[in-house]
Structure 1
Amino acid sequence: MTEQTPPTPPFRDQRLPFAKRIDDLLSRLTLDEKIGFLHQFTPAVERLGVDAFRTGQEALHGVAWMGPATVFPQAVGLGATWNTDLVRRVGEAVSKETRAMRARDDRVGLNVWSPTVNLLRHPLWGRNEEGYSEDPKLTSAIATAYTRGLRGDHPTYWRTAPVLKHWLAHNNETGRDVTSSSVRPRVLHEYDLRAFRETVEAGATAGVMPAYNLVNGRPNHVSPYLREHLRTWTDDDLLVCSDAGAPSNLVDSEHYFDTHEEATAAALLAGVDSFTDHGTDSSKITARVRGALDKGLLSESDIDTAVRRQLSVRFRLGEFDPEYDPHAPTRDFDTPAHRALAQEAAEQAVVLLKNSAGLLPLAPDTRIAVVGLLADECKLDWYSGSLIHRSTPLEGLYERFGAERVEFAEGVDRVLLRTGTGAFLYVPEADAADEVRGAEGALDPALLAGRTDLPPLTTDATGTEFALVDWGAGVLTLRAPDGRYLSVAEDGRVRASADQPGGWIVQETFHLEPHENGHLLRHIGTGRHVSVAADDVRVAEENPEIFEIVLVERGEDAVARVAAQADVVLVVAGNDPHINGRETEDRTTLALPAHQERLLRAASAANPHTVLALISAYPYAVDHASLPAMLWTSHGGQSAGTALARVLAGDVSPAGRLPQTWYADDADLPDLLDYDVIGSRQTYLYFEGTPLFPFGHGLSYASFSYAGLKTRTAEGALHVSFTVTNTGDMAADEVAQLYARAVDPAVPRPRRELLAHRRVRLAPGERAELSFEVPLSAFGFWDVARSGWRREPGPYELLAGASSQDVRLRTTVLLDGEGSAPRPVLQRGLSAPDFDEQSGIAIVDRTRTSGDAVTPAQGRSGELVYRDCDLGAGVTRVTATVSGDGAVEVSLDGGPPLAVLTAEAPDGDPYDYSTRSAGIIAEGVRDVHLRLRGPLRLAHVGFSG
């Protein structure tokens, strides 16, 4: 008797639509198996032949954390290219490398957590390097391009499945898991949601990751906005992956729920489908889900919903159709094309900020002094891969101009550390066999985590001369002559063992603390002081060593020496991406560290032909009055130095543009936790001061003229065209930018707002006509009076040019729309967060699951204004839905209080609302003012006759 082959289950049948195949597979899974799918590390279901799966592979600007990979410029640098085609190609290269790396290491995941679309609202945000722009239109354009590259262009199967980070209104690291972003409706819809929405609607996004913070008093991981907004933008099954540890934060740090079962159920019901918590240990999450089921907080259908979304992504990745997968393993890894693309991206990211004396480009015979802390560095950040190739600015200039024409002085202070016994700290020589390298000669990433196979520091009579660098705020690094940084490993010993500062907790940074006649050296990572024993040097709780700092050479002296002998000085300054501004740590100032300011002054004093090249993850406020030229680029990955040298030499005309405003002073900045970009006049959209450099700014070695601005309205869109001509003598890119502003708005609107842009390459004398189709919806705003979008009829000015302030052409168009109308408060009342103006108010959660309310920000007092409220022929009563303790004073047009409504539940549930009422006599269209006193919550105000 012939043995029959068992029939192919429907979920393996490639002829069926994904939806039917997912339903079939879901029906075959047991409840325990489905619960197991909810953790980041999903186990295999061997009886069905279903492989293990994990969500999450970092791929922000190359494949991260998985060893050697092509490293592209940081995300903010990709944003500075303003080039969507380039960014799409970068995303494509990253996705191909992801597939190639997975073929040899199954730890590499295809569900990539990238890009970051949080808007760069505030330049002190520690993760500024991860975003693209402060502008939602530019951010969504760049993010859409990157996700399209990551997804691939096959109509059915995705090369990788990108997840957008971090939902929502997330721009602070300090207290990021306990601080709440107060986001009023206009800011929510016009600003924070917009970058996510336009990227999701473009159709290449597999999901989102909620952020650690709260929005309007409610943690993002239980946000109703996932349901009310995100999932309405597409018919695709979006996968929502939690951030690491955030599910536990709901109880442990945020105290939003009493038990983890409640928290897990609430997150799942809100729309979180995959829980990233407790590393690879899924037992805690699965136990919490099982507990929530037992308590009736969840149903099996709730779990099915989440598992279905995960399976949808896995089917789209071709997991269940390996024979049909067009993205089968390839060798597309570190290819010549990817290396060339990394260099092209680094070149396009360079922004020429200033070139007042025409100092740049440099002539081939220029004698160059290269100085500064980043001059011979190629820095990595937390989301970088391991470098296979690297070029520093110094190496790039050696290659381009010849080593004989380039002199180098790093500008670090060189010191000896003398102990109380008169001996000096000494770095023993390491055996050559201790140098452990990875593939292609790349330094193994494990070396950054603190090696224990090298000998610890000791002391001798002569000592080792260390390079001491002050990165600002008293944060120091110490480097041995062989280039290794002093680092502390788990055994507490101090070794010269790290290629660069790095790690989740950086082990290579120190503080010098004055003590008696010397200094204590405190290790920042452990908080312990350096102690010297007879046989080694370690950090310890006791017996701190008092060091004398013996200065061998000042950095400024070395800089001045080489600067005086050169035709041009290039000062390379900026940040180390792991120090003073990174994930978990915001910056405190826009200023350059004092050490780098001193080096810049020393170079400029010795040679007026000084060029400042800033390589940084964020903007700085620099006094550039005495500098003839200045450039900025992000940390540019493996080709950073080559790219900078080619731009300086004029091989490439710079065409990067600033993706965010560079402010002149810390005083120009709002509080980091003030998310109201409208009320506090943030970003180029609303800022009324004079920036150091404006949004969209960037100079060129060529010149361009603009002409022939034309407009026409048809089919729900405004069609705009103009010509750009290269009037210079070299081929160059120009980034043409189109902005608009409402001429006479009824409510505060942006001073100008980016509608479209295009980066175009033109030969000398070449002209291009650029055409843009702008949907009329782009001119709308969120009307709080009707809780919806409205385009105001009237004149709008269009501005075309080279930046938000370098306007070359302008015209005014008249657009139709819907006129304003008084608020129908008799029918709808006033939803408390729908104010026009506020002072001292924070928005909070109305309940744990939905809705918003308002409260005095410090629990004391605040004021709300609602314009043009139609009270009809007269009202005699006002009611307020309130909780907590305090009073609501009601007045009209700024006059005296006409009614006071008192809430009296000082020890009650903040979500236990009651309705209070009082008599009032008013009529007509009036501005309603509400003054809140005490720690109450106000949800709604109503009026009746």
Structure 2
Amino acid sequence: MILNKIFPLCIFLTLLSCSQDGKKNENMNLSMEKRAESLVSQMTLDEKVSQMSYESPAIEHLGIPAHNWWNECLHGVARAGLATVFPQAIGMAAMWDRDQMFEVANAISDEARAKHHQFAKNGKRGIYQGLTFWTPNVNIFRDPRWGRGMETYGEDPYLTGELGVQFIKGLQGDDENYYKVIATAKHFVVHSGPEAERHSFNATPSQYDMLNTYSPQFKKVIQEGGVYSVMCAYNSYNGLPCCGNKSLSNLLREEWGFKGYIVSDCWAINDFFMPEAHAVTTSKQEAAAMAVKAGTDLNCGDSYVALVEAVKNGLISEAELDVSVQRLLLARLKLGLLAPEGVVKYEKIPYDVVDSEMHRLLALQTARKSIVLLKNEGKLLPLDKSIQKIAVIGSNANDLEVLLGNYNGYPSSPVTPLEGIKQKLPNAEVKYAIGCKLAEGLPIFEAIPASVLFTDKTCATNGLSAEYFNNSKCEGTPIHSRIDLNVDFVWHTKAPYEDLAYDSFSVRWNGVLKVQESGEYALGGEGFLGMKLFFEDSLLVERSNVHHPRKEYEYVHLEANKPYPIKLEYIQDNVEHAMMRLLWEKPNKNLAEEAIAIAKESDVVIFCMGISPLLEGEEMKVKVEGFAHGDRLDIKLPKTQTALMKEIKKLGKPMVLVLLNGSALAINWENENIPAIVEAWYPGQAGGTAIADVLFGDYNPAGRLPLTFYKSVDDIPAYSDYDMRGKTYRYFNGEALYDFGFGLSYSDFTYSKLTIVDQIAPGDCLEVSVLLTNNSDVDGEEVVQCYASNPQAGGVNPNRSLVEFQRVMLKAGESKTINFSIDADQLTVVDEQFREIVMAGELKISVGGAQASAERIKERKVLTKTIHVEGAACVMDK
């Protein structure tokens, strides 16, 4: 009995030691699991509950520092100021390159570690400053209308899983004891829109679809990638919200062996009791208890504060909370956040890796690799560098927003397509015109100029009266006052004045707006955290407590020469990127005329068209026809753009179309009428340079589509239908505009000597080899793709599935033998008992630079062979 009483006390006394900064830390001789258990045993109920919310406060008596679990790094460290910005996730998927995915993630996690240690050194442990990152998004991009599809790796579970594994490994590092950062696979499970219904939608996929499409990539990133965090989705799955669905956490932990923690999507637990959402509970206490009982350890939101009362009221036991808190403390221990200084090797990563020359080059290389050449009639591309007059036309030609996508950081020197072309041909005459709105109803924003801004109604002095406050509330006496000619500020991590903290200040501008032409104007702004724009003493637009900038606006009618009072307030509060821009769109009826005029004088016309993160994204307010809540209602290129290109085609000029977008587009007229088309996605900070490199032949494109480009939205089932039949290349029976896996090159590749055994036994690996030859005089890369199809599979099984791929570089005239070893579990189908089996009978294999088609087979771009699987079917333990 005495020993039993003394032993816990010994653990308590030896648990704590002092690090170099004087903080208490755990005894390094204990296992991390024991340390987590001991720390939790010393917490009060209130302290335990405090650690289960994303804003976890410090527990001083245990030496536990504050930690904010919310951080993002989808394609670069996001929302934390300066960072290298790589292509959006869908663009990285288009590389079909495992090694490059790892290198990108490794660079991102270097910057993440360096930033975190700099923040912590300065006592900053807030949002977007920690080491737990809510990426990657490995949901399946099952429908092109989904606005968040750009965050994914496309429509194929195998490609998604393979790329996700490498991204996670690059993020989490290779240390035996400590994670570099913790990655989060999201959103579990069956989550891909519609955005407007995500808080109430109940997904009821068939077991065929769950096994074939919605779950394999999650299982892969857990079992092969070792991802240590999973985010549960907003939607319900088979009648229960995902974050309150015990069957899903059982699948993760008991069947797949997941060892980490589960975090809710943000404010998803509130959906449990909100009447307009899932409404499966009646109170916050019940919702919080339900989520924890279902295995959701961490809450992004404010629901888990109710757990204290939930325990007192018997809705959940404190012992059940202990399980989650231990998991969360163990994660922090595995990051070294409670370790003595100098123990974790990642602490040594210097801050100068952020935006380093090496990372900028990696961003350029990644952008190049992501570009897909969709059409090159008459080998118009690459363009001759001796061209003297170039017309660059389109809203996406000189727009920073389309470089960055969403969930992005802020690069130091971004290059738009227009700038990239100018830099490529410094001696050519490059003229630019917007030509048309990206979509009818979406303003073409620019900073409101000083010529129409005045300090008061006398209109005697241009500019706005500005007051700068050393707080984040525009309160008290300003410490600086001045006249700003206009509001077009991107301060980054430098405050407007040295005596202001860059992450905690506010500004108020007052004055009047007086225009020379009557008409409809869009008025708005773009601020990183919070802004309010008042027009004629009434609030016109507001954006508050949002940690990423997005343009907000309203249309107003302005009379010429009438002074309109305006007031703009900007709040900067604990974020790492300061910016405020007062924007407008003025009436302009001459957009098309300007574009036609410069096209007439040009030797070649380069269109930069597509869509924008202002139109597609996460649950966003969009006031444009054809778009809703961040999703698309149609997949056509907006008609404003096609109409302009039709007019310019009449000039008979050589034309190139560069698309910048995050999802598939039905560009039927463009495909028939424009000789060269390039898909560039949202290409990151170096996108303009990469596009120019491809257009003018300094880089040979080799990207391949990670999703199907359909001809019409009418070719696919309803967006809200989660049945996979008719969607993605695996189930689509129609004729696509561009197939999954499609992409052209400036080189000419052919395939020969396909070698596959005639038969295998169920459960055997399949060995495949093929000879790839570059028959051109241009060095280039090819993405070799291997597909399998099982003609006798019943149920709802895919028509064909990608089972292997490899991106290969070949010099001009070179040949290489490409070898694949395909695991048996890649050859399975789902039988009527919902077992994953390798069936006996025929198995069709195709190998080449695309999916098998009569044309590709004739050109020897794809080789096929039917083999036999002999013997009894083999049930695979997948």
Does TM, normalized by the shorter one, top 0.5? yes
Identify the residue that residue 579 of structure 2 maps to in structure 1. none
Distance, in Å, in 2 between the alignment partners of 1:165 and 1:557 is: 47
Do structure 1's residue 56 and structure 2's residue 64 form an aligned pair? Answer: no
| One-letter code aligned to 1:751 | N
Do structure 1's residue 749 and structure 2's residue 768 form an aligned pair? Answer: no
Secondary structure at 2:640 match in 1: helix
Greater Cα shift, 183-192 or 255-264: 255-264
Identify the residue that residue 650 of structure 1 maps to in structure 2. 697
Do structure 1's residue 216 and structure 2's residue 238 form an aligned pair? Answer: yes
Q: CA deviation at 1:41?
A: 1.4
Kept after mapping to 1: 8 A contact 2:780/2:810? yes
Distance, in Å, in 2 between the alignment partners of 1:510 and 1:665 is: 32
Identify the residue that residue 481 of structure 2 maps to in structure 1. none
Q: CA deviation at 1:455?
A: 5.0
> Runs of 5+ in structure 2 lacking a partner?
1-9, 17-24, 444-449, 455-461, 464-483, 569-584, 621-628
Do structure 1's residue 85 and structure 2's residue 126 form an aligned pair? Answer: no
Residues 791 and 457 from structure 1, CA distance in 2 versus in 1: closer, same or farther, beyond 3 angstroms?
farther
Q: Deviations over 1:764-790 (max 9, x none)?
A: 12222221221112222232x324222
1:873-888 equivalences in 2 (<5 Å)? none
Distance, in Å, in 2 between the alignment partners of 1:742 and 1:451 is: 63
Secondary structure at 1:562 match in 2: helix
Distance, in Å, in 2 between the alignment partners of 1:115 and 1:215 is: 21
Distance, in Å, in 2 between the alignment partners of 1:552 and 1:757 is: 49
User: Please, which of 174, 180, 192 is the counterpart of residue 196 of structure 2?
Assistant: 174
Kept after mapping to 1: 8 A contact 2:788/2:803? yes
Q: CA deviation at 1:110?
A: 0.2
Kept after mapping to 2: 8 A contact 1:426/1:463? no
Q: Deviations over 1:79-135 (max 9, x none)?
A: 111111111111111111111111222431101000000110000001111111100
1:614-653 equivalences in 2 (<5 Å)? 614-622=659-667, 623-624=669-670, 625-653=672-700
1:13-28 equivalences in 2 (<5 Å)? 13-28=27-42
Secondary structure at 2:400 match in 1: coil
Q: CA deviation at 1:451?
A: 8.8
Distance, in Å, in 2 between the alignment partners of 1:330 and 1:295 is: 48
Structure holding more strand per residue? 1
User: Please, which of 724, 731, 734 is the counterpart of residue 772 of structure 2?
Assistant: 724
Secondary structure at 2:81 match in 1: coil
Residues 558 and 477 from structure 1, CA distance in 2 versus in 1: closer, same or farther, beyond 3 angstroms?
farther
Kept after mapping to 2: 8 A contact 1:250/1:256? yes
Do structure 1's residue 9 and structure 2's residue 18 form an aligned pair? Answer: no
User: Please, which of 809, 815, 838 is the counterpart of residue 863 of structure 2?
Assistant: 809
User: Please, which of 129, 133, 138 is the counterpart of residue 117 of structure 1?
Assistant: 138
Q: CA deviation at 1:653?
A: 0.4
User: Please, which of 253, 259, 268 is the counterpart of residue 231 of structure 1?
Assistant: 253
1:429-508 equivalences in 2 (<5 Å)? 430=463, 431=484, 436-439=489-492, 453-455=508-510, 458-460=513-515, 462-463=516-517, 489-493=531-535, 506-508=550-552
| One-letter code aligned to 2:239 | G
Q: Deviations over 1:136-170 (max 9, x none)?
A: 00011111111111011212211100011111111
User: Please, which of 559, 566, 570 is the counterpart of residue 606 of structure 2?
Assistant: 570
Identify the residue that residue 215 of structure 2 maps to in structure 1. 193
Kept after mapping to 2: 8 A contact 1:450/1:497? no
Identify the residue that residue 901 of structure 1 maps to in structure 2. none
Do structure 1's residue 788 and structure 2's residue 835 form an aligned pair? Answer: yes
Do structure 1's residue 389 and structure 2's residue 413 form an aligned pair? Answer: yes
1:490-639 equivalences in 2 (<5 Å)? 490-493=532-535, 506-510=550-554, 534-536=563-565, 553-584=589-620, 585=629, 586-622=631-667, 623-624=669-670, 625-639=672-686
Distance, in Å, in 2 between the alignment partners of 1:741 and 1:447 is: 58
Distance, in Å, in 1 between the alignment partners of 2:603 and 2:542 is: 36
Kept after mapping to 2: 8 A contact 1:241/1:275? yes
Q: Deviations over 1:557-589 (max 9, x none)?
A: 111111122221110001220225544421111
Do structure 1's residue 326 and structure 2's residue 373 form an aligned pair? Answer: no
Distance, in Å, in 2 between the alignment partners of 1:551 and 1:49 is: 60
Do structure 1's residue 255 and structure 2's residue 274 form an aligned pair? Answer: no
Residues 630 and 496 from structure 1, CA distance in 2 versus in 1: closer, same or farther, beyond 3 angstroms?
farther
Larger CA Rg, structure 1 vs 2: 1
Identify the residue that residue 276 of structure 1 maps to in structure 2. 300
Q: Deviations over 1:846-889 (max 9, x none)?
A: xxxxxxxxxxxxxxxxxxxxxxxxxxxxxxxxxxxxxxxxxxxx
Secondary structure at 2:230 match in 1: strand
Q: Deviations over 1:260-289 (max 9, x none)?
A: 2221111101110001113xxxxx522x21
Distance, in Å, in 2 between the alignment partners of 1:200 and 1:615 is: 32
Secondary structure at 2:552 match in 1: coil
Distance, in Å, in 1 between the alignment partners of 2:386 and 2:417 is: 18
Greater Cα shift, 760-769 or 223-232: 223-232
Distance, in Å, in 1 between the alignment partners of 2:504 and 2:867 is: 59
Distance, in Å, in 1 between the alignment partners of 2:11 and 2:252 is: 45
Distance, in Å, in 1 between the alignment partners of 2:722 and 2:117 is: 44
Secondary structure at 1:248 match in 2: helix
Residues 449 and 757 from structure 1, CA distance in 2 versus in 1: closer, same or farther, beyond 3 angstroms?
farther
User: Please, which of 242, 254, 258 is the counterpart of residue 264 of structure 2?
Assistant: 242
Secondary structure at 2:609 match in 1: strand
Residues 239 and 597 from structure 1, CA distance in 2 versus in 1: closer, same or farther, beyond 3 angstroms?
same
Q: Deviations over 1:213-249 (max 9, x none)?
A: 1122221111233333111355452211111111111
Distance, in Å, in 2 between the alignment partners of 1:359 and 1:498 is: 47
Kept after mapping to 2: 8 A contact 1:608/1:627? no
Identify the residue that residue 57 of structure 2 maps to in structure 1. 43
Distance, in Å, in 1 between the alignment partners of 2:36 and 2:51 is: 14
Distance, in Å, in 2 between the alignment partners of 1:113 and 1:550 is: 39
Identify the residue that residue 841 of structure 1 maps to in structure 2. none
Q: CA deviation at 1:329?
A: 4.6
User: Please, which of 813, 818, 826 is the counterpart of residue 765 of structure 1?
Assistant: 813
Q: CA deviation at 1:553?
A: 4.2
Structure holding more helix per residue? 2
Kept after mapping to 1: 8 A contact 2:612/2:660? no
Identify the residue that residue 887 of structure 1 maps to in structure 2. none
Distance, in Å, in 1 between the alignment partners of 2:84 and 2:416 is: 16
Kept after mapping to 2: 8 A contact 1:176/1:213? yes
Identify the residue that residue 305 of structure 1 maps to in structure 2. 323
Q: Deviations over 1:176-218 (max 9, x none)?
A: 1011122111111111011111111114311111111112222
Distance, in Å, in 2 between the alignment partners of 1:290 and 1:505 is: 36
Identify the residue that residue 476 of structure 2 maps to in structure 1. none
Q: CA deviation at 1:533?
A: 7.3
Kept after mapping to 1: 8 A contact 2:518/2:560? no
Identity score, percent: 30
Q: Deviations over 1:467-524 (max 9, x none)?
A: x8xxxxxxx7889xxxx99x9942423999999xx9779553445xxxxxxxx65xxx
Identify the residue that residue 150 of structure 1 maps to in structure 2. 171
Identify the residue that residue 19 of structure 2 maps to in structure 1. none
Q: CA deviation at 1:290?
A: 1.7
Distance, in Å, in 1 between the alignment partners of 2:159 and 2:829 is: 18
Residues 478 and 237 from structure 1, CA distance in 2 versus in 1: closer, same or farther, beyond 3 angstroms?
closer
How many residues in Structure 1 have an aligned counterpart in Structure 2?
761
Q: CA deviation at 1:695?
A: 0.2
Q: CA deviation at 1:338?
A: 0.5
Residues 189 and 532 from structure 1, CA distance in 2 versus in 1: closer, same or farther, beyond 3 angstroms?
farther
Q: CA deviation at 1:745?
A: 2.5
Residues 113 and 80 from structure 1, CA distance in 2 versus in 1: closer, same or farther, beyond 3 angstroms?
same
Secondary structure at 1:64 match in 2: coil
Distance, in Å, in 2 between the alignment partners of 1:443 and 1:349 is: 38
Kept after mapping to 2: 8 A contact 1:708/1:723? yes
Distance, in Å, in 1 between the alignment partners of 2:163 and 2:86 is: 15
Distance, in Å, in 1 between the alignment partners of 2:285 and 2:321 is: 14
| One-letter code aligned to 1:358 | K
Distance, in Å, in 2 between the alignment partners of 1:94 and 1:653 is: 26
